Amino acid sequence: MTRLLVMSSSSPTVTQYLAEKLLVKDVPGADKVRAREVRSEGEKRYILCLNEERREKDLEKLETVREKCEKELEELRKKYENSQEGRGQPMTKESTIKQAQNILGKNKRLFDIEFDETLEWELNEEAWQYEKDIAGKILLVSTDNLKPSKTLDEYKNLKDVEQAFDDLKNFLKLRPFHHNTDKGVRGHTFICILALLLKKLMEKRTEKTFKKIMNEPDRLKEIYEKADITVLS
């Protein structure tokens, strides 16, 4: 039986160090989604996977985060400097640094905050490069002897099953059952599963998330026409 574990740079203790070391490795190849074995320890095999499409999105998000943080830090600096010249109570060094840390949040690793006469910051080049290097990657730990590409397929299947259960529970509201008979419960369950099937088929046909599809009425109409679906009212 295949046992899969997903590791990331946020994993605790020793595994965090190992994940950080392995995630920066290259995954050569021309396929948009590819995998390679990067380490083995007894039965454990470490499979590094790269999704080029996900990588592009991660890099765009990273740039957006950087721009947002720098903009808000600049606004905070001006606010501090203006407070020193106004009539009200001036901002303190400590409160300004605390606000800067709140602005950065989980992105503190990307910036080095300093304070001399005013608030200053600098991009941490090492941390920035690391985030770019790991964009679009996941590290799987497997106890099977499958090829790296097959291990990745197993992970995708697992994610699909987990997402299906999540959709049934949260998106389609499978439970609670507001029925008094077994027939009513079976009918409710059947409709939810049928709705899940239609949702997945629409996502597969359009290669978009269901949320994006529902925000594009013309695209939704196109799907119905291609599938030769008649909506009864």
Which pLDDT tens digit goes with each residue over 166-201? 666 666 565 666 667 777 777 777 777 777 777 777
By percentage, how much of the chain surpasses pLDDT 90? 41
Q: Are 35 and 48 in contact (CB under 8 A)?
A: yes
pLDDT recorded at residue 40: 87
Asked whether the predicted pLDDT for residue 94 surpasses 90, the reply is: yes
The set of residues, in sequence order, having a beta carbon less than 8 Å from that of 124 and lying 6+ positions away, is: 109, 110, 111, 112
The CA distance from 40 to 20, in Å, is: 16
Question: How far are the Cα atoms of 56, 145, 199 from residue 53, in angstroms, in the given order?
Answer: 5, 27, 22
Q: Which two tokens stand for residue 227?
A: 């599938």
Q: Phi first, then psi: what are they for 139, rounded to 5°?
A: -115, 120
Q: Which two tokens stand for residue 118?
A: 């005013």
The order of strands in the sheet holding 33-41 is 4-7, 137-142, 44-51, 33-41
pLDDT recorded at residue 155: 73
Alpha helices, DSSP H only, in 47-147?
52-85, 93-104, 125-134
Please state which of the ranges 56-65, 83-92, 97-106, 218-227 shows the lowest mean pLDDT.
218-227
Asked whether the predicted pLDDT for residue 149 surpasses 60, the reply is: yes
